[in-house]
Chain A
Amino acid sequence: MKVVVCIKQTPSTTAVFTVDAGGNVSWDDPGGKPNVLNPWDEYSVEEGIRLKENHGATDVIVLTSGSEESQDALKTSLAMGCTEAILVADEAFAGSDTLGTARVLAAAINQIGDVDIALFGKQAIDGDTGMTPMQVARKLGWTPLTYVSAIKEVGDGQITVERLLDDGKETVSASLPVVISVVKEINEPRYPSLMGIRKANRVEIPTWGAADLSVEGGVGSEASQVDWSHVYAIPARVGSVEIIEGDTVEEQARILADRLFEEKVI
């Protein structure tokens, strides 16, 4: 069984963002690395590795469409235990909307060939769209299984998973190949071992460009149908907090209750 895990390198969760007058976004992380493996992807990488350890997957290939810097996230995934890494990078792909990205990733997965399961994290914490896994599934013509919280069974060309929907837990079965996006309930990602990190650092990761893939359809900013015309910081908070004072806690509770009933939120 061949598994591909699609990941993204994103700003860290503690990154601090600035938008300049021209609407250009930049970020830094005073406490650590500014760019990391997308937090949701730690779970999909872990699940891919577990498919190898527990369900007989022979290959767990980590794939990303990004830039040279994205190698960091690929190496983290290799260090955790993925068997191979591929970087897809080309100027032509920059500025793609989710549809463009889906076209590129589908082409790469087809290029790898004979893939049974393509794993994704629920969303990437920069664009935050969470739409890419479904769109990749459509471009591949594979069954999508989203919000997966557990892979219950896989074998003989079939898979059964548990999905966490807004109103409950759904168990579904489908035949392979499938695209799966996972939620954090699915597992506890491992820390890469020191040996894993050392090995990963020595790996030469191949880069595939536009010429190496048969991408169907438009990609890059030219083809993007989504125009982020204006990115801006959240408008400053109007007003400030009313700290409720009182001689006793009972008095504070009474005043707060008064306020909340006035606000009609209770």
Chain B
Amino acid sequence: MSGVWVFVENSQGQIPAVAQEAIGAARNVAAGLGQPLTGLVMGQDVSGVANGAFDLGVDAVLGADDATLAHFRVEAVGPLVAQLAGERNPAVLVVGGSTRGRDLAAWVAAELEAGLVPDGIEVKVEDSSVKVTRPVYAGKLLADVHITGGLQVITLRSRAFPKAEPTGKSGTPEWVNTAVAEDEINTKVVGFEGKEGTVSLTDASIIVSGGRGVGGPEGFAPVKELANTLGGALGASRAAVDAGWIPYDHQVGQTGKTVSPDLYIACGISGAIQHQAGMRTAKIIVAVNKDPDAPIFKLAHYGIVGDLFKVLPVLAAEFKKRLS
């Protein structure tokens, strides 16, 4: 068993941030184990992606370029990765924790009966084995996890690792045939609606969120204004979502999305533990709240005690000035 593999997710010729982060982390694991790093590139017309993978620092690219792989389906990619891993025996498979990545990791691990640790926020090589730290119990505790046995399959939480730095390197990919034909793939993609123009919460480096303190759907206007000024995404606490003031899509927290931005500004959010579970790994947390005793101030790095309706517009104006 040797070699570290990393799944190079791609879409429309681009390698998304989550996969660039996975390559960065996988490079460290490979270096720690003293083994080569192979990028797996699957899709259609992906020679550019293969070049991108070499640039991001993989030592080798193993890929397949086929119409059946044009739009990621786990029933097409899973069997192929499992087959290749079964033949070539890597020691570790690293996958960025996007929806597609998590599906792939779970499939491959089940297929190969391998140990699987999802959602790692830290990965260390210790005594030639990989230790993954991950949040458990809805983010209230942490667990250090080892995988025993053969192949170790790991997924990484989005934005928990820095992206791989470009190296300027290039190489020659090894292209293989697909494992399953179109008529063997049960899932047919009938449509796809991209989320153009809106910043996805899990990808955002800046998030401005509103909670019970905004008082109603119109109360989100200054929160949204500040988010737009900063080029950030709009988030919300469960209280605001449950009250029907903003769609669930924006919910951050234990039963919403888990985010890890560089900057998280919590407005009118008390900071219940369930909300904290979804955003505590943000690099800098700012709280704006009328209540000086709100639990959020125990978590925040910076705080303003005050009325968000007075504070947010002034903040937005200040940033508009500085960013223009």
Contacts and interface: CB of A to CB of B under 8 A. Distances in A.
B99 A146 contact: yes
B156 interface: no
A143 B103 CA distance: 12
Interface in B15-37: 16, 18
A191 interface: no
A156 interface: no
Interface stretch (A50-58, A162-170, A198-206): A162-170
Nearest to B315: A253
B255 A168 contact: no
Give the one of B106, B109, B147 with max A CB within 10 A. Answer: B106
Contact of B317 (A11, A163, A173, A253): A253
Contacts of B75: 143-144
Contact of B107 (A138, A168, A174, A254): A138
Given A102-B110, A129-B119, A25 B189 contact: no
A165 B315 contact: no
Contacts of A250: 314, 318
Contacts of A112: none
B88 interface: no
Nearest to A39: B255
B280 A234 contact: yes
Interface of B: 11, 16, 18, 74-75, 98-100, 102-103, 105-107, 109-111, 113-119, 131, 134-149, 158, 186-195, 200, 202-203, 205-206, 230, 248-249, 254-255, 262-263, 273-274, 280, 283-284, 286-287, 292, 297-306, 310-311, 314-315, 317-319, 322-323
Contacts of B249: 185
B141 A170 contact: no
B148 A266 contact: no
27 contacts: A17-B140, A27-B137, A39-B255, A40-B255, A125-B137, A126-B136, A131-B106, A131-B118, A147-B99, A165-B99, A167-B195, A168-B195, A169-B193, A170-B189, A172-B187, A225-B114, A225-B149, A226-B147, A228-B143, A228-B144, A231-B136, A243-B302, A244-B304, A250-B314, A256-B304, A265-B284, A266-B230
Contacts of A241: 287, 297-303
A225 B115 contact: yes
Given A128-B136, A244-B302, A257 B117 contact: no
A135 B109 contact: yes
